[in-house]
A = this chain, B = another copy of it.
Amino acid sequence: MAAKKIKQNLDTNTEAKIKNAARTVFHKKGFAATRTRDIAEEAGINLALLNYYFRSKEKLFNIIMQETLSGFVKSIVVIFNDETTTLEKKIERIPSAYIDLLILEPQLPLFIMSELRRNPDHLLKMTNVKNVIVNSAFARQYQQSVKAGKIAPVNFLHFIMNLLGLTIFPFIASPMIHAVGDLKEAQFNKLMTERKKMIPQWTKAMLKAK
């Protein structure tokens, strides 16, 4: 009963065009505010084709959400579980990798958080964040450093919230930051690029705080 789809080469084919358009519009406006007509227009195709290829708005959304979430998590997993790098090196790589990603796709965090509020189960079903993070090499190295007395004995959850908060929050609050700092996009991105070097320094300083 499930429709077979022959993968073609270029993303010039209609199915890929629709998916790309859907990703763009969903990421920008969220599920509820997006009209299928917006997606069709963005894709430069006819509205009927959307349903021909994906059956419904909801099914299309689920595909996009799935891909977005797993992409977002995977981009971190590689670094978290690199057994060849130290804790300190990971503290440098995580903000740097995420900021590179978010400069390219600044709407990603707000999209994910908004849609997760609508349906928190998505996260658990689609990715296994808990295991991915809690059982990572990163977490293990952190706990070991705490035990060895090398860093302050702070709950790993706090540490993760701090590292990700410093990295991701500016992109979520970007309209506010643009307003406060009277910034254009280029200036904002420059600030974010600065943070790639600064967040690791700040984080290390925090780890020494009592």
Contact = CB atoms under 8 A, between A and B. Distances in A.
Interface of A: 29-33, 107, 110, 113-114, 116-118, 120, 123-124, 129-130, 133-134, 154-155, 157-158, 160-162, 164-166, 168-170, 172-173, 175-182, 191, 194-195, 198, 201-202, 204-206, 208-210
Q: Give the dominant DSSP class at A's interface.
A: helix
A204 B209 contact: yes
A175 to B, nearest CB: 4
B157 A164 contact: no
Contacts of A166: 161-162, 165-166
Given A161-B170, A168-B169, A107 B113 contact: no
Contact of A180 (B114, B120, B134, B182): B134
18 contacts: A30-B32, A32-B32, A116-B175, A116-B176, A123-B175, A130-B180, A130-B182, A157-B177, A157-B180, A157-B181, A158-B198, A161-B170, A161-B177, A168-B169, A169-B172, A201-B209, A201-B210, A205-B209
